[in-house]
């Protein structure tokens, strides 16, 4: 290609990322960072070769089928790609890439924050201070839960799950996990593998959800699987909201079956189930897993790497394949 490939970035990106895009491509950047509809994105794409999308862009089959023929690649500024219809992209001959590896530590840090915050009452404790309801000391209340020495179950023992396990070992936690396949012994580092979620759940005083959203995992943390957990357990989720059945989790938290939950991701975010906002035993964060400058820059650079490789005639290192 004699001229620079023409790329549209749908959202405002970190300055170093936009600077590199402007050097390497004929890029059109977002001027006001407003979230725009798929139809409005399509209107902008005449003559473009690629699009750098974000998780807020819903690239369903209708969107993909409406893309101009000139568009050959969607590079998403995210690890997850559940906002993209991969089957439709594959059928259209459209390359899709993501940004793995670069947000592992940041997301694992948030998982530990949720675990500690949920267990030790970060939400209600801060409210006591802010609302001036902090009274005299009492031996019996309010009390949180111990974390040190407890059993932690991890659903999804990929890069992030392993990073969560590494941090949890600092609290002397006993690690159990469920994964599509068992890890090599050197990566398990003493963690106990369980072939099914049902087998894992009775071993989870704490449960950290770190798996991808797939047809198999959606809604897998539900009334039946939660019932298998020990009483007064804690669930934390930094993966995807649709892995949890909201009705089941709210019921378990309200009944006392579960002691607490820590959630960074939700169904239909930011329009989350309003019941969570009213619950004292839920520690909530607004999807902050990758929200550090270093991580967001690294994500953007990884997306640009993929675009460069594609337009150089190479297979992008992070190409998502349809299975």
Residue 145 confidence (pLDDT) above 90? yes
Q: Give yes or no: 188 in active site.
A: no
DSSP 197-220: HHHHGGG-SEEEE-----TTTTT-
Residue 274 confidence (pLDDT) above 80? yes
Measured CA distances, 274 to 189, 259, 281 (Å): 40, 19, 14
Please tell me the predicted confidence (pLDDT) of residue 1: 47
> Residue 214 has which token pair?
């797939």
Query: Sorting pLDDT into bands at 50, 70 and 90, what band is 239?
Result: very high
Gap between the Cα atoms of 225 and 298, Å rounded: 36
End-to-end CA distance of the chain: 30
Q: What is the mean pLDDT of the chain?
A: 96
Q: Give yes or no: 269 in active site.
A: yes
Mean pLDDT score, 298-317: 98
Gap between the Cα atoms of 168 and 148, Å rounded: 9
> Residue 135 has which token pair?
């009274």
Residue 279 confidence (pLDDT) above 80? yes
Per-residue pLDDT tens for 177-221? Answer: 999 999 999 999 999 999 999 999 999 999 999 999 999 999 999
Q: Is 65 helix (H, G, I), strand (E, B) or coil?
A: helix
Q: Name the active-site residue from 83, 182, 269, 275.
A: 269
Please tell me the predicted confidence (pLDDT) of residue 2: 58
- Strands 73-76, 174-178: pairing kind: unpaired
**Gyration radius of the chain over CA positions:** 22
Q: Name the active-site residue from 178, 194, 240, 302.
A: 240
CATH class of 104-284: alpha beta
Per-residue pLDDT tens for 87-114? Answer: 999 999 999 999 999 999 999 999 999 9
Please tell me the predicted confidence (pLDDT) of residue 322: 82
Query: Sorting pLDDT into bands at 50, 70 and 90, what band is 143?
Result: very high
Sequence ranges of the domains in the chain: 6-102+293-311, 104-284
DSSP 8-61: EESS---HHHHHHHHHHSEEE--SS-----HHHHHHH-TT-SEEEE-TTS-B-H
Say which DSSP state 319 is in.
Answer: B
Q: Name the active-site residue from 83, 120, 169, 287.
A: 287
Please tell me the predicted confidence (pLDDT) of residue 57: 95
Same fold, 6-102+293-311 and 104-284: yes
Please say whether the structural domain 6-102+293-311 has been given the CATH code 3.40.50.720. yes
Neighbours of 96 (CB within 10 A): 24
Gap between the Cα atoms of 177 and 160, Å rounded: 13
Please enumerate in sequence order all residues whose Cβ is within 8 A of that of 235, keeping only pairs 6 or more positions apart, or say none.
Answer: 206, 207, 209, 221, 226, 244, 249, 258, 261, 262
> Residue 291 has which token pair?
């929200």
Residue 162 confidence (pLDDT) above 90? yes
Per-residue pLDDT tens for 31-67? Answer: 888 888 999 999 999 999 999 999 999 999 999 999 9
Please enumerate in sequence order all residues whose Cβ is within 8 A of that of 135, keeping only pairs 6 or more positions apart, or say none.
Answer: none
Residue 85 confidence (pLDDT) above 90? yes
Q: Give yes or no: 302 in active site.
A: no
% pLDDT > 90, the chain: 95
Mean pLDDT score, 135-149: 95
């Amino acid at each position: 290609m004699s001229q620079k490939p023409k790329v549209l970035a749908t959202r405002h990106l970190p300055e170093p990322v936009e600077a590199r895009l402007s050097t390497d491509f004929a890029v059109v950047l977002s001027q006001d960072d407003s979230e725009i509809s798929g139809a409005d994105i399509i209107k902008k794409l005449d003559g473009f070769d690629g699009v750098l999308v974000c998780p807020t862009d819903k690239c369903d089959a209708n969107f993909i089928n409406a893309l101009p023929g000139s568009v050959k690649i969607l590079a998403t500024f995210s690890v997850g790609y559940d906002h993209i219809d991969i089957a439709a992209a594959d059928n259209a001959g459209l390359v899709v890439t993501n940004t793995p590896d670069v947000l592992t530590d940041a997301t694992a840090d948030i998982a530990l924050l949720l675990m500690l915050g949920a267990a030790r009452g970060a939400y209600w404790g801060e409210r006591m201070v802010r609302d001036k309801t902090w009274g005299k000391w009492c031996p019996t209340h309010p009390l949180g839960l111990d974390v040190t020495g407890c059993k932690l179950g991890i659903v999804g023992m990929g890069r992030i799950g392993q990073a969560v396990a590494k941090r949890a070992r600092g609290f002397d936690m006993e690690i159990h996990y469920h994964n599509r396949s068992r890890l090599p012994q050197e990566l398990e580092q003493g963690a106990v593998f369980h072939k099914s979620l049902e087998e894992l759940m009775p071993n989870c005083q704490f449960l950290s959800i770190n798996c991808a959203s797939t047809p198999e995992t959606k809604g897998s943390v539900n009334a039946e699987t939660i019932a298998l957990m020990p009483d007064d357990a804690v669930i934390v989720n930094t993966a995807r909201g649709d892995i949890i059945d909201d009705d089941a989790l709210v019921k378990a938290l309200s009944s006392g079956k579960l002691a607490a939950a820590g959630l960074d991701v939700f169904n239909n975010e930011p329009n989350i189930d309003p019941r969570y906002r009213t619950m004292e035993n839920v520690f909530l964060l607004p999807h902050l897993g990758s929200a550090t400058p270093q991580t967001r820059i690294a994500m953007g650079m990884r997306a640009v790497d993929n675009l460069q490789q594609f337009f150089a005639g190479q297979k992008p290192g992070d190409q998502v394949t349809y299975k």
